[in-house]
Structure 1
Amino acid sequence: MSTDTDRAPRTFTRAGLAERAAALCRADIPASIVVFLVALPLSLGVAVASGAPVAAGLIAAVVGGIVAGLLGGSAIQVSGPTASLTVVIAESVHQFGWAATCFITVGAGVWQILFGLSRIARAALAIAPVVVHGMLAGIGIIIALQQVHVLLGGSSLSSSFAALVGLPHQLMSVRGADLFVGLVVIAILIAWKFVPRSVRVVPGPLVAVVVATVLSLVLPLHVERIVLDGSLLDAVGLPSVPAGSWTVIVMTMVTIALIASVETLLSAVAVDKARPGTGTDFDRELIGQGSANVVSGLLGGLPIAAVIVRSLTNVQAGARTRAATVLHGVWVLLFAVALAGLVRQIPAAALAGLLILIGVQLIKLAHIRLAMRTGDLFVYVATVLSVVFLNLLQGMLIGLLIAFALLLWRVVRVTIAATPSGRPDRWLVTIDGTCTFLALPRLTAELAKVPAEVAVTVEMSVDFLDHASYELITDWAMRRESEGTAVEFVEIGAARLATAPAGPPERGHSRQIIDQVIGPWRRTEHRDNPIARGIAAYHRGHAHLMRPHLHGLRERPGADTFFLTCADARIVPNVITDSGPGDLFTVRNVGNLIPAVGEDVSVEAALGYALDTLHVRSIVVCGHSECGAMGALYHQVGTGIGLENWLAHAHPSMARYRDGHPVALAAARAGFGAVDQLGMVNVATQVQTLRANPAVQEAITERGVTVSGLFFDLATARLIAVTEDGIAEFDDEGNSVVKAPA
C-alpha cells in the first residue's frame, strides 16, 4: 500500500494539475533536495568503505532513488547504498573482483524479488532483534577499524584482525594532514547536533565534507583524494560471471539479499511509525528493492537497501509522495554527470572521518542496555565478535543459533522446589514452568527431599506436562498414599494431570486458564449438582491460595466499602470491583433499594453495622442493565403481593424518571433503553436517600465517608458512574472519568 496522498484519484483538469504542481513544489521538491544532500556524501563513503569504485556508490544512489522509489511498497522510503552491506561487499570484491560482485548483486536482487512474490516479507522480521543489533554493531566496529587506517594516512586492510594488529604501526607512521582533515569532519559532525535547529536544515555530513575539502584546498596540505576515473557514464559496465565455488557465490547472494531485506523492512516499520497511515506493502517493497538491485548490478552499482537515516530525513523534510524519493535520485544523477570534478577534490580522510562516526553510531548504548535487561547480552556479544572476526554471514548464523538455544532453554525451563510449608506436619512442592523429561533429574531430587510421614501439597503451575513427568509424579504420589501419607494436588496451570494420559502432550494456553476460572459461571445444559462441582474445583485450584489471606482476616472483621447491589445472579461484586475478602460489606436485595428510615429493618441494620462497627469509608449503590425489578416497575406488570409491596420503595424513582431526571436524559443520549434509564435514575434516587439518612450524614461530616452510585452494563461488562447530573464512563485506568456523549 502507499500513502493516502499516493492513493488519491488522479485529476487531470487544469485546476487539479495546478494543485498537484503546487503540492510538489511545496513539499516534495524541498524534501528531495534535503535527502540528496544527505545521500551524496554517504554514498561516496559507502563505496570507499566497500572497496568498490567511487562511481558505484553514485550509481546505486541514482537507481535506489528512481527504481526503488517507483516500484517499492512505500511512497516515502529512500533507498541507496548502505553501510550495513559494506563488509560483505568488501569480502566479495576481495574474493571475486568488482565485475563479479556486480553479478552477485544482480543475483541478490533476484532473490529479493522471489521473497516478495512468495509473500514471506514479514517472515524476515522474525529474526531476533538482538541478533540484528549485534550484527549492525559488528559492522560498525569493522567500518571504524578499517577507516581509522585511512584517517591516519594509510589504507584499509583486509580483515579486522589485521586492522587491529596493524594499528600500532599505523600510529607510528601517521600523516598529519590526513588526520587533521578527518578530525575536522568528526568534530563538525559531533558539534552539528548542538547548533540551532534552523541551521540544521543543512545536513551535517554535507557541511563536514565541504568544509574539510575547502580546508584541504586552501591550506598547504598534501592529502589523498577520491579517485574517480571519468564521468558516471564511463563507470557504467556490465557484470561478469564470477569464477569460483558456486556454493560460496550463491551464499553471498543470499547473504546480501537477507541483510538488505531485513534492513529495508526494519526501515519501513520505522517510517510507518514516524508517519502514521503510510502503510508500507512489505511484499511490494521487496520486489521494488530486488528490481533496483538487479538494475544497479547491471549498471555497475553497489547493492541497495532502504536506509533508515535517509528515509526519516525524507519524512522530517515533509515529503508526501514518491516524487521526493525519485527526484533525490535525479539530483544525484545530475550532480554525478555534471560535477564529477568536484568529487575528485574530496579528501579520502574526510570520508574516513564520516565513516568512522557512522560506524560508531551503529553501536547503540540503548541496544546494549536492552540486551542486558532482557538477558540477551551473551547473544549480542557473541554476534558482534563473530561478525568482527569471522564474517557477516557466520556471525548472523552464530547469533541466531545462540538466540534459538537461549529461547529453547527458556521455554523448557521448569522451577521445582520442595520446602516446609510452615506447619511441622506438611511440606510444599512447587512445580512451575514446562515439565518434560528434561526435568526428571531435578524433579526426582526435589521429591526425595520430602520427609516420610508428612502430608504434601503439590502446587503445579505448568503449561506443558509430558508423559514421563506425569508418570513420575503420579507414581510418587501413589507410593506415598499407599504408605498412609496424604498428597494434595493444587493445579493452577493450563496442563492438568487428569488429561495427561488421554493423548499426546499439548501445551496449555492462557485461554484454557480463563475458561477454568469463569467456566462455572457459564450456564450449560444438563449440569448436575453445579454447586458440588464448584466446591470441588475451588478446593483443588484456589482454596490453598485463599487460606493464608483468610487466616490473617480471622480476628479483624472489617471492610472498606458498604456495597448495596441487586440480588441478580449476573452481578458479582468482587469481580466487577476487582476486590477480595475483607474489602466489601455486601448487601443485596431486589432492585438495590434503600427504604426510608424505619421502613425496613434488614437494610437499616446492615447499614448501621457497617458504619458503627466496620467503620466503612465509602458507601456504594450499584444497579445494572436488564434489571427485572426495574422492568416490572416500568411496565407495571403483576409481580405478586410480596414483590409488589417491596417495589413500592422504588416509586420515587419512577416519579423522578417521568419528570425527566437529568440522569435519564444523559442515559438516553448514550443510547440506553427506557428500562435502563429508569435503573440509573433509581441508583441516583437511592444515593439521595442514603445522603438524607441521619447516620450517613453524621459519618459524612465526621469521617468524610463518601456516597456514590454505579451502574453495571451487562452488554459491555463496564461500570458507569451515576451522579446527580448525569452519567459518566471510567477509562481503562479507572482514574479519569469521560462524560457520556451529548
Structure 2
Amino acid sequence: MSTSTASSTATSGYFAQGFFGRDLLASVVVFLVALPLCMGIAIASGMPPAAGLITGIVGGLVVGFIAGSPLQVSGPAAGLAVLVFELVREHGAAALGPVILMAGLIQLIAGLCRVGVWFRMTSPAVVAGMLSGIGILIVASQSHVLMDAAPKARGLENFAALPAVLWEAVTGGAGSTALMVGLGTIAIMLGWEKLRPAKLKFVPGALLAVVIITAVVQLQNLPVNRVDVPANLFSAVSIPSVGEILGVFDATLLLAAITFAFIASAETLLSAAAVDRMHDGPRTRFDRELTAQGVGNMICGFLGALPMTGVIVRSAANVQANAATRMSTIMHGGWLLVFAMLLPWLMRMTPVACLAGILVFTGVKMIKLGQVKDLAAYGKGTAFVYLATTFAIVATDLLTGVIIGFALSLFRLSLQSSKLKIGVKDGDNDGKVTMSLEGSATFLRVPEMARTLERLPPGTKLHLDVERLQHVDHAYIELLRDFHRNAGARGSEMIVDWKELGRRVEGPAQHQPA
C-alpha cells in the first residue's frame, strides 16, 4: 500500500468512526475554558493578556501536534505565574523570553536524552505542597487585582497589605466597584458548579461568568479596569535580540531558566500521568511529551510569550468532553488564534477584576489542605513534607520552598533507610552486657548509639553482636572504635568481631580498631 493510500484510509477512518465530531465539540469546550485563563494568568504574571493567548495558541497548534500525551492540553499555567511575576519584576519583561527559551532548550535536551520518566521521581508530597503554595500566592496577589489594586512582590507582603486595600473597597473607596465585579464572578462560578444542569455540563463556569459580568459592566458602564488586548495579535510578539539571549548566561537568569524547566516539566509529566488515569486510550510517551514541551517553550521564548506546561484543568475538560485524538487540542489552538485575530475588541470589554476572580477561584481549588489526611496515610512524615513545602513557598519564594521540600524528603528517606534496632541484654550480675545491632548503622543513628553507650555503667563487659547488621558507615564505626579505645579508662571492655563488622562497611576500611 502506498503512503498516499494509507494516509487516505486513515483520514477516512477518522471521519467514519465519528472521531471528528467528538474532537470538534471537545475543542470548543477546551477553547472556552482556556480563553479566560490564558488572559487571566498573563495578568497575574505581570504580562499583557496577549502573551498568554500566544502561549495558548502555540500549546495547541504546535505542542498538540507533537505531544507524547495525545489528550493533554498545554498552555500558560497558574503554577508558573508566580515565577514569571518575580522574574519580570526583578529583571524586566525583556528577560522573560531568553529565560523561557533556555528553559525550553533544557527540556528539549532532557527529552532527547530520555530522562522524561525520571521527573516522575519527584515526591508527590513536594508537588502537592508546591501547588498548594502557588495557590495561596495566587489568592494573595489576585485578591489585590480583584479590587483594581497592584499586587505586592511577595506573598507575605500581599497578605499584610490586603486588609487596608479591602477596607478601602468595602467602605466605598477605590476598588469598591471592582470588588463587586470580582465577587460576582466567583459567585457565578460557585453557583454553576453546584447547580449546573447535566445537559450543560460542557459549558465552563469561567466562561459563563465572563460573559455575564462583561455584559453587566458594559451595559452599566461601570468604572473598572478592562483587559488591554492589541488590535493585531502579532504586535504583541517581542523577539529577543542576540544580546538579550546571550544575557541568559548570567548566573541569576540561568538559575531561573533551570527552575522554570524543572517545575514546568514536573507539572507537565505529573499532569500527563493524571490524564492517563482518566481514559483508556494511548498512554503517554513521557520522553516525547518532554521534548514537545521543550519545543513549545523555545517558540514561546522566541516570541516573548509566557512559559507553558501541560495543564490538568484544560486536559480534564478535554477528556470529559469525550475527545478522541490529539486533533481536539490542535483545533482548540486554532479557535484561540481565530478569536484573538478577529475579535480583539470583544476581549477588550472584559474587566480585569473578572479575570482576577477566576484566578482566585482557581487558586483556592489548588490549595487542597485536605490532602494532609490522604498523605498521612503514607506516614506522618509525608504530610509534614507537604505542609512544610507549602508554608516555605508562601514565606520565602517558589524555588526556596521547593528546595526545602526536596531536602526534607531526602532527609526523611535517609531516616527510613537507616532504621536500626539496638537490643541490650544484661547478664546475671556479672557486669556482662550483650548489645545486638540490627539494620543499618549510619551517621543519623550515631546520637542514639552514643547515648546508649554513655548509659552503660563503669566496669561493663560489653559484647557487641553484629551478625544481623546490614550496613555500617564511617561515622558509626568511628564511634565504636572511640568507645573501644576509651573503655579501659572506665574499667570496661568491649568485645566485637571486627572482621565481621568490617564486612558491613561500604568500601575499603580498616576493620581492626586503632
TM-score by length of 2: 0.84
Inter-partner Cα distance in structure 2 for 1:444 and 1:96 = 51
Question: CA contact under 8 A between 1:429 and 1:458: conserved in structure 2?
Answer: yes
Counterpart amino acid of residue 74 in structure 1:
S
Question: CA contact under 8 A between 2:79 and 2:134: conserved in structure 1?
Answer: yes
Does structure 1 residue 64 correspond to structure 2 residue 68?
Answer: no
Query: What does 1:282-321 correspond to in 2, within 5 Å?
Result: 282-321=286-325
Q: 1:461 to 1:182 in 2, by over 3 A?
A: farther
Inter-partner Cα distance in structure 2 for 1:319 and 1:197 = 18
Question: CA contact under 8 A between 1:470 and 1:500: conserved in structure 2?
Answer: no
User: SS of the residue aligned with 1:218?
Assistant: helix
Q: 1:236 to 1:438 in 2, by over 3 A?
A: closer
Q: 1:132 to 1:105 in 2, by over 3 A?
A: same
Inter-partner Cα distance in structure 2 for 1:453 and 1:326 = 77
Inter-partner Cα distance in structure 2 for 1:348 and 1:233 = 22
Q: How far did residue 61 of structure 1 move?
A: 0.4
Q: 1:155 to 1:266 in 2, by over 3 A?
A: same
Q: 1:80 to 1:466 in 2, by over 3 A?
A: closer
Query: What does 1:499-648 correspond to in 2, within 5 Å?
Result: 499-502=500-503, 504-505=505-506
Q: 1:260 to 1:441 in 2, by over 3 A?
A: closer
Question: CA contact under 8 A between 2:435 and 2:462: conserved in structure 1?
Answer: no
Counterpart position of 2:186: 186
Question: CA contact under 8 A between 2:52 and 2:76: conserved in structure 1?
Answer: yes
User: SS of the residue aligned with 1:237?
Assistant: coil
Inter-partner Cα distance in structure 1 for 2:12 and 2:419 = 66
State which of 12, 19, 33 in structure 2 corresponds to 1:18: 12
Q: How far did residue 332 of structure 1 move?
A: 0.6
User: SS of the residue aligned with 1:198?
Assistant: helix
Counterpart amino acid of residue 464 in structure 1:
H
Counterpart position of 2:471: 464
Question: CA contact under 8 A between 2:437 and 2:468: conserved in structure 1?
Answer: yes
Counterpart position of 2:142: 147
Q: 1:502 to 1:434 in 2, by over 3 A?
A: closer
Inter-partner Cα distance in structure 2 for 1:383 and 1:432 = 33
Counterpart position of 2:282: 278
Does structure 1 residue 213 correspond to structure 2 residue 219?
Answer: no
Q: 1:231 to 1:437 in 2, by over 3 A?
A: closer
Does structure 1 residue 90 correspond to structure 2 residue 85?
Answer: yes
Inter-partner Cα distance in structure 2 for 1:464 and 1:451 = 29
Inter-partner Cα distance in structure 1 for 2:478 and 2:87 = 55
Q: 1:302 to 1:439 in 2, by over 3 A?
A: closer
Counterpart position of 1:257: 261
Give the total of aligned pairs.
486
Counterpart position of 1:233: 234
Counterpart position of 1:76: 71
User: SS of the residue aligned with 2:201?
Assistant: helix
Gaps of 5+ in 2: 170-174, 508-514
Question: CA contact under 8 A between 2:41 and 2:81: conserved in structure 1?
Answer: yes
* C-alpha distance after superposition, 1:271-292 (max 9, x if no partner): 2222245222211111111111
Does structure 1 residue 367 correspond to structure 2 residue 371?
Answer: yes
Counterpart amino acid of residue 287 in structure 1:
T
Counterpart amino acid of residue 20 in structure 1:
Y
Does structure 1 residue 132 correspond to structure 2 residue 127?
Answer: yes
Question: CA contact under 8 A between 1:383 and 1:398: conserved in structure 2?
Answer: yes
Counterpart position of 2:510: none
User: SS of the residue aligned with 1:418?
Assistant: strand
Counterpart amino acid of residue 37 in structure 2:
L
Counterpart amino acid of residue 18 in structure 1:
S
Counterpart amino acid of residue 212 in structure 1:
I
Q: How far did residue 317 of structure 1 move?
A: 1.6
Q: 1:503 to 1:48 in 2, by over 3 A?
A: closer
Q: Is the deviation greater in 136-145 or in 415-424?
A: 415-424
Question: CA contact under 8 A between 1:99 and 1:238: conserved in structure 2?
Answer: no
Question: CA contact under 8 A between 1:145 and 1:164: conserved in structure 2?
Answer: yes
Query: What does 1:306-705 correspond to in 2, within 5 Å?
Result: 306-373=310-377, 374=379, 375-418=381-424, 429=435, 431-436=437-442, 439=445, 442-443=448-449, 445-446=451-452, 449=456, 462-466=469-473, 469=477, 472=480, 499-502=500-503, 504-505=505-506
Q: How far did residue 452 of structure 1 move?
A: 8.4
Counterpart position of 1:737: none
Inter-partner Cα distance in structure 2 for 1:128 and 1:293 = 24
Greater relative contact order, per chain length (Cα 8 Å cut-off, separation 6+): 2
Question: CA contact under 8 A between 1:32 and 1:314: conserved in structure 2?
Answer: yes
Inter-partner Cα distance in structure 1 for 2:446 and 2:91 = 53
Counterpart amino acid of residue 185 in structure 1:
T
Inter-partner Cα distance in structure 2 for 1:276 and 1:199 = 24
Q: 1:439 to 1:394 in 2, by over 3 A?
A: closer
* C-alpha distance after superposition, 1:110-137 (max 9, x if no partner): 1111111222112222222222222222
Question: CA contact under 8 A between 2:467 and 2:500: conserved in structure 1?
Answer: no
**RMSD value, Cα:** 3.5
Q: 1:361 to 1:14 in 2, by over 3 A?
A: closer
Inter-partner Cα distance in structure 2 for 1:57 and 1:402 = 34
Q: 1:222 to 1:99 in 2, by over 3 A?
A: same
Q: How far did residue 345 of structure 1 move?
A: 0.8
* C-alpha distance after superposition, 1:508-550 (max 9, x if no partner): xxxxxxxxxxxxxxxxxxxxxxxxxxxxxxxxxxxxxxxxxxx
Q: 1:439 to 1:248 in 2, by over 3 A?
A: closer
Counterpart amino acid of residue 167 in structure 2:
M
Counterpart amino acid of residue 177 in structure 2:
A
Quick one: percent identity of the two aligned structures?
Answer: 37
Inter-partner Cα distance in structure 1 for 2:14 and 2:428 = 78
Inter-partner Cα distance in structure 2 for 1:391 and 1:454 = 55
Counterpart position of 1:570: none
Question: CA contact under 8 A between 2:389 and 2:401: conserved in structure 1?
Answer: yes
Counterpart position of 1:200: 201
Q: How far did residue 390 of structure 1 move?
A: 2.7
Inter-partner Cα distance in structure 1 for 2:15 and 2:187 = 40
Q: How far did residue 348 of structure 1 move?
A: 0.8
Q: 1:450 to 1:391 in 2, by over 3 A?
A: same
Q: How far did residue 417 of structure 1 move?
A: 4.4
Q: 1:11 to 1:37 in 2, by over 3 A?
A: farther
Counterpart amino acid of residue 160 in structure 2:
V
Counterpart amino acid of residue 269 in structure 1:
A
Inter-partner Cα distance in structure 2 for 1:422 and 1:213 = 88
Q: How far did residue 469 of structure 1 move?
A: 4.7
TM-score by length of 1: 0.59
Inter-partner Cα distance in structure 2 for 1:395 and 1:455 = 46
